[in-house]
Structures are given as C-alpha cells and as structure tokens.
Structure 1
Amino acid sequence: MTSPIRPAEVDRTSPVPLYFQVATRLQELIERGEIGVGDRIENEVDLAERLGVSRPTTRRAIQYLVERGMLVRKRGVGTQVVHPKVRRPVELSSLYDDLRTSDRTPRTEVLKLEVVPAGGEVAAALEIELGTEVTWIERLRYAGGEPLAIMHNAIPMDLIRLTDRDLAEHGLYELLRRAGFVPRIATQVIGARSAGATEARILSEKRGASLLTMTRTAWDAGGRALEYGSHVYRASRYSFELNLSAG
C-alpha cells in the first residue's frame, strides 16, 4: 500500500536544512502510525511535488531515514517503512515510562533477579563497599512486540524488595518512586559497540550488529545512590535525542 503524504510546511528562512525538515515530518507521521509498517512511500518525483521541495531534497530526506533504519529501499517494490524507531530524550526517565508515554506498548521479560556481591564498577557507582550485597536485575524490554533492549541494574539491598512480577508489570523508576525513593539527578554515558552472539540472539539481530550502550547512576535529592544501570539497545530500532542550546 502506498501512503500519500500531506503537504509539509517547510521554513525556507530557517537555518535547519530543508531535507532535515522533510525527514522530520516523515518521521513524525511514521511514529504516529499515520504511515504504517510495510507501507510504501511515494516515488521521489511525486513526493517532491506534494511536499513542495526539490527532488534532491526529497531524495536526501529519504536517505536520511534509510540510514536510521526507518525506511528500506527494495528493488521492484520501492521505499517501505520497516519500523517506527524509538527516539528517547536524554533526560532522567526510565525506558518503560518513555515507551508507555509514546504508546509503544512496553513489555518486560525478567531474565534474572538475584542477590549478588557488588563488583568494583557497581560498588563505585553506588558508593558502597566492595562485596556489599545488592539486588541484581537483568531484563529484556520489548516495544510493540519486538525486543528492544537488554537491561542490567543494581539496587542497594536496603532500598526495596522486588519480585519478578513487580518488574514484569512496572518500570524500575516507578517502583522506586512508589517506595519513596525518587531519582533526581544522574550521570549517564552513551556509547556504541557490536553485538555478541548471545546479545544478537536475544535481540533478534545478526551477530556484530550495532548496539547503543548506556550506563547510568541515579541519586535522590539527598545524594543517595539509588540505582546503577548498564543497558544495550538495538541501534536499528532506537536512538537518543538531545536538545541543545547556546548559552
């Protein structure tokens, strides 16, 4: 099915490139479901005329979305939507909350929930003695029925008692807030690497596929460390979004 695109309002006086304005418009339509997975995008000539921009601008906008895994070009078929990629704002929120807010139907499979002695990285992050017992959580997070992220978290033992059911039905930050521990500030490091064999299998990716990584330590308003997280995300389905401004 070919989805006609309503004319886009582009601002030719804006410093934002026209192709990026067009790509953003298409991305919004895909994320809202107005252009569904499997739908074909109009050919470049018709789409350029409909959007009121040049064909090279349209081609570059489509290529931008192809490179980000939202569209794919197929010989004899055309350009199709393959998946509405999850864009996550870089702010202090949980992936579960972000998916629920964007109507992406989060689902969680708890892979491991156990008490373990804190290793060096976890102990340093949570500001506890090496070997102190912590609650260790491993989860597989789904979005819209597809695996999206493998999530590892360490929680101080005296904060909260968790069950598999708690973690399957609620986000970690929601559970912390319910227990009276509200994350207020965090340090976060974002990176990238290739998927190993086990990660690729769990995430339905090919071995060596690109993964985004994120490590985070969150504290409450009083400066107490609440959680340490180390997560990997499918780069083909996920991105971080930052809003920047000049000071």
Structure 2
Amino acid sequence: MSTVQVSVDRTSRTPLHVQLAQQLEAAIQGGDLPVGSRLSNEVDLAEAYGLSRPTVRQAIARLVDQGLLVRKRGVGTQVVGNSGQVRRSLELTSLYDDLSAARRKPETEVLRFGVAPASADVAAALQCEAGDRVLRLERLRRADGEPLALMRNWLPPEMLDTDPSTLAERGLYELLRAEGVRLKVAHQTISAQPATVEQARLLSEEPGCPLLATTRITYDDHGRAVEYGSHLFRASRYAFEHTLVHR
C-alpha cells in the first residue's frame, strides 16, 4: 500500500481536502504514486496525515472524479492515470499559488510591464476614468517548462510597488498581500475564444484552437477594485472545477 508525504496548512483558506487532493495529484503526476499502485485505506491515510476520515474520503473522491484514481472492490483505491492537465478549483487564489501548492514548478516571463492609460473596459473594472494611469502587466506563465497561460492584469499604480524581475519570481497575489492588500472577493467570467497567431505561438498551440478565457475583478476588504485580469489558458492543459450546492 502506498503513502506519500503530505503537509497541510490549517490556516489556509483552501479546504484541507483540496490541499490533500492537490498533493496526492502532484505525487501521481511526479511518479511518486505510479500507475497501478494502490493507496492505503482511508483509516490509515487519516491517521498518517493527521486528518479526519471524511476529509480523506473527499480528497480521494475528488481524484476519482478527475480520473486519476479508481475504487475497485476487493482491490482498494488504485492509481489509473496521469492526465498532465492542471485542474484549478474556483477559489480566490492565483495560478502561481495553485501551481506551487500542486508541486508544479511555475515559471514567469514578463512580456510587458509599465504604466498605461486605462481603456474603457479597464476603467469600468477598476472604478476609475478612461485615460487614467494604471499599471499594466502581461506575463507568460509556464508549468514545469511547458507554456500554460497568457496573463494580462491592470492595477491602480499605487496598489503595487514592484519591478519585472520581482514579478518574474513571485505571484501577483503574493506581492499584493505583502503590500498589505487584503483580497476579499472576486467576480469572474469564463468563456472560450480562438487563439490568434501570436497567442498560439506563445502557448505552443495551433492558430484558431480554442482557449479558455477568463476575466476577473478582485476587490479588497474595503470593497475597492484592486485588480482586473484577462487571462488565456490552454484548454488541452488546463481546467476549472467547482462544486455546486443546492439551496
């Protein structure tokens, strides 16, 4: 029976079962839990990781839903796949944070950095006037050396004091938190759009292939709009997942 080392952060906003699932997924992707290996039972895993049995059960169910694990009667829980796809829960976290938590190596190439006049849509998102100065960031994010996302962000200039080299080494939300910004809530939309020639070149895809497109407006604990993001993800390498609750 296989068990891998896991470390959960009980102060994090990310639920414990999600943290456990992310680390087990990283172990599968990295080969520490190879295809065909069997996990220890829920009771043993809960004891080994210092977690409750329901938490372990939720984490395993999450990986079963992703097609990485399968439950077989008389056999137990077995590793059956390595999808290679980054799966991200719909929570107020950054891609950099999520890749790090999943033990994927995030790399950032800063394509554009500087102050620019706000367009009409940026101004509406950041609650300022069109033409006002905003900080514009454009980055290519890689995971384990493979292109994953094109990320564009706009922020009020006073919100963040950084430079391209720092931005290449650290996540945007991490930098905002270091400035004392308390991220509270975000409004996000998800759609699809075809890749332009330039986008396809940067993401190692074919022109016209479908990309996952997101826009996000993030607010702090005072209700101020602190960041507007417009990101493109490779649909072949990236997926969002969320849980629906009946009310």
Q: TM-score, normalised by structure 1?
A: 0.70
**Alpha carbons of 1:133 and 1:28: their partners in 2 closer, same or farther (altered >3 Å)?**
farther
String of CA shifts for 1:119-172, please: whole Å, max 9, x gaps: 000000000011000010000001111000000000101112220111111100
* Counterpart residue identity of residue 65, structure 2: T
| Residue 165 of structure 1 pairs with residue 206 of structure 2 | no
Q: TM-score, normalised by structure 2?
A: 0.70
**Of 9, 17, 27, the match for 2:68:** 27
Q: Secondary structure at the match of 2:68?
A: helix
**Of 23, 33, 36, the match for 1:4:** 36
* Counterpart residue identity of residue 116, structure 1: A
Q: Secondary structure at the match of 2:137?
A: strand
**How far off is 1:26 after superposition?**
3.8
| Aligned mates of 2:129, 2:147 — CA distance in 1 | 35
Q: Secondary structure at the match of 2:147?
A: strand
**How far off is 1:206 after superposition?**
1.1
**Alpha carbons of 1:179 and 1:234: their partners in 2 closer, same or farther (altered >3 Å)?**
same
Partner residue in 2 for 1:78: none
| Aligned mates of 2:114, 2:235 — CA distance in 1 | 29
Q: Secondary structure at the match of 1:113?
A: strand
Partner residue in 2 for 1:44: none
Partner residue in 1 for 2:148: 148
Is residue 7–residue 51 contact of structure 1 (8 Å, CA) maintained in 2? Answer: no
Partner residue in 2 for 1:103: 103
Total equivalences in the alignment: 190
* Counterpart residue identity of residue 97, structure 1: D
Identify unmatched segments of 5+ residues in structure 2: 1-33, 42-60, 75-79
Identify unmatched segments of 5+ residues in structure 1: 10-19, 30-49, 54-61, 63-70, 72-80
**Which of structures 1 and 2 has the bigger CA Rg?**
1
Question: Within 5 A, what are the aligned runs for 1:65-144?
Answer: 83-144=83-144
